[in-house]
Every structure is written in structure tokens, then in C-alpha cells.
Amino acid sequence: MRICPKCRLIASDDPVCPECGWNIAAGGVTGPASALALRYAENLQSMALFTALMFGASLIVSFATTRGNQFLPTVSMSLLVTGLIADAFLLLLIYKTATIFAEANRWMVGAVLTFPFGTLVFAWLLARRARLGGPVGRPTPDDEE
């Protein structure tokens, strides 16, 4: 019996934690993506899409506003605020997903520095990372062997 260093679950001597997918031997998740990583990838994609739609709708409604109209500016601002709140939740989801791979600090610094619109890019890249279970960037020569 052992305790998983990520989720503190007491599990069998299997090197892969059944709860969070942490691999003791490799120091993280390797190989095919775990069910938890796939679920987070789906949530990242849907939250990034929702946030982008809110920002886009706010922009479209603000350009549709005519002089003397008091309703459309309110709708536009409420869509913008909804997008910002969704983006804050997207940051939380990026953090939770990146902790699966023990890379939370690196992903969060990039996402916070590019807040609010860069988080959409970071969410899509992290969703790809979670689905593939491997690095996001180009493969290194060690990976091709």
C-alpha cells in the first residue's frame, strides 16, 4: 500500500493512481490520457468556447448600439462581465487540469499574464495536452526514438 502524492489516496502498489492518474515512476501522467484528464479537457474546451462567445457577443452588441439607446449598452456590459467571470473560472480550471501533470505553476503564470483573452489559447493548448497525455510542443529528438 502507498499514498498518492497528488490526491493523498491510499492505493495499492500500482504505480498509477486510480483516482488522479499520477504516475509515481514517471513523476506525472504518461502514455494515454486518464479519464480525469479527458473530462478536464472537455470542460476546458467548453468553458473556453463559452468565454469566447460572451466576449464576441459583447463586441457585436456594442457595435449595434445606436445613439439614445439605453438597453443595448447594458446588455453589452453584462455580456462582457459574464465573459470576465467565465474567464476567471477558466483560470481555476486551467490550474486544476495542470496539476494533473505537475505543471500548474508554469501554466498559471502564462494564463494570468495574458488574462483575459490569452487564457482562451492556454485553455485550448492545455486541453490538447490533457487529451494526448504528452507534451504540447514539438517533439524533441528523444521522443522520436
Q: How many percent of the chain have pLDDT more than 70?
A: 77
- Omega into 139 within 30° of 0, i.e. cis? no
What single letter denotes the amino acid at residue 98?
Answer: A
Same domain, 8 and 56: no
Chain segment 66-84, per-residue pLDDT in tens: 988 989 999 999 999 999 9
Residue 144 falls inside a structural domain: no
- Is the pLDDT higher at 51 or at 105? 51
Residue 116 burial class via C-beta count within 10 angstroms: exposed 0-12, middle 13-18, buried 19 and up: middle
Place of cell 500500482: 14
* Full domain range(s) for residue 26: 1-30
| Mean pLDDT across 20-35 | 61
d(CA 119, CA 99): 16
Q: Which of 13-17, 48-52, 124-128 has the lowest mean pLDDT?
A: 13-17
Question: Are 26 and 36 part of one and the same domain?
Answer: no
- Is the model's pLDDT at 143 over the cut of 80? no
The verdict on 85 and 121 lying in the same domain is yes
